[in-house]
Amino acid sequence: MSKPVDTPPMIAPMPRDLLGDPLEFFAADHLRQRAAFALIERLATASALDRTLAAHVLEFLGKDMVAHVLDEEDDLFPLLRMRCEAEDDIEHVLGDLSAEHAAEERVAVDIRTGLAEALEAGRPVGDIEGLGKRMLAFVHAESRHLALENGIVFPLARARLSEDDLRNLSARMIQRRSSQ
Ligand SMILES: [Fe+2]
Ligand SMILES: [Fe+2]
């Protein structure tokens, strides 16, 4: 069996100081997700299990990604539905993104279960049936999802949300993280 390798965590901490500007926070969170996807790809294809990295990714998927989806589903998307004009034609985009949130959450739960199993057994991801493939598919789907939000959703939020909306959004996102 190849020797285990351990690397320090490489996903930057949540930029809480940006929560006062929620759209900046979303942008920073998406950058963190890109870093996380690169690490997930690395874990999926490595011949030895990097335990530190696996634990870090498990924590990211179980906490940060969950909070991010709630920020969008419970706060940002409902606000956009209220503020966007018919010409923005946002509903089908939000509908598709919400369906992806639900689907990817199920995949993330499977990946977490698989990673926990790999950690427990001290085996690389490739030894857990279907796990590497699921992780790579997750990264592919999430990268596309994130690009759609960056390209369509966030520019519309900048254009349509009022100062009050942004203040309320900020308060809700701070509240969500207050117990973390
Ligand atoms: Fe999303
Ligand atoms: Fe997002």
User: What are the pLDDT digits (tens) for 129-153?
Assistant: 999 999 999 999 999 999 999 999 9
pLDDT digits (tens, 9 = 90+) for 49-95: 999 999 999 999 999 999 999 999 999 999 999 999 888 889 999 99
Q: Does residue 9 lie in a domain region?
A: no
Would you say residue 118 has pLDDT above 60?
Answer: yes
Q: What pLDDT does 1 receive?
A: 46
Instruction: Say whether pLDDT at 113 is over 70.
Output: yes
Q: How many domains does the chain have?
A: 1
Q: Considering every ligand atom shown, identify the ligand nearest to the alpha carbon of residue 93 and give its number.
A: 1
Rounded CA-CA distance 161/155 in Å is: 10
Residue 7 maps to a domain: no
Ligand at minimal distance from the CA of 26 is 2
pLDDT band at 16 (very low <50, low <70, confident <90, very high): confident
Using alpha carbons, select from 161, 173, 172, 177 the residue that is nearest to residue 85.
Answer: 161
Per the listing, tokens 């990295």 go with 53
What is the residue type of 56? H
Residue that is written with structure tokens 């949540």 in the block: 14
CATH number at residue 125: 1.20.120.520
SS3 content of the chain, % helix, strand, coil (to 5): 80, 0, 20
Give the range of the structural domain holding residue 89, as residue numbers without chain letter.
19-177
How distant, in Å, are the alpha carbons of 57, 69, 81, 115, 174 from that of 33? Answer: 11, 12, 25, 18, 19
Which ligand approaches the C-alpha of residue 102 most closely?
1
How much is the mean pLDDT over the chain? 93
Give the model's pLDDT for residue 86.
87
Distance 1 CA to ligand 2 centre (A): 38
In a domain, 2, yes or no: no
pLDDT of residue 6: 60
Contact yes or no for 119/54 (Cβ under 8 A): yes
Q: Is residue 8 one of the residues assigned to a domain?
A: no
Residues with CB under 5 A from ligand 1 (ion): 72
Q: Supply the pLDDT for residue 180.
A: 66
Please tell me the distance between residue 4's alpha carbon and the centre of ligand 1 in angstroms. 34
Does residue 12 sit within a domain?
Answer: no
**HEC per residue, 120-173:** HHCCCHHHCCCHHHHHHHHHHHHHHHHHHHHHHHHHHHHHHCCHHHHHHHHHHH
- CA-nearest of 14, 156, 11 to 85 is 156
Q: Which residue has the higher pLDDT, 109 or 11?
A: 109
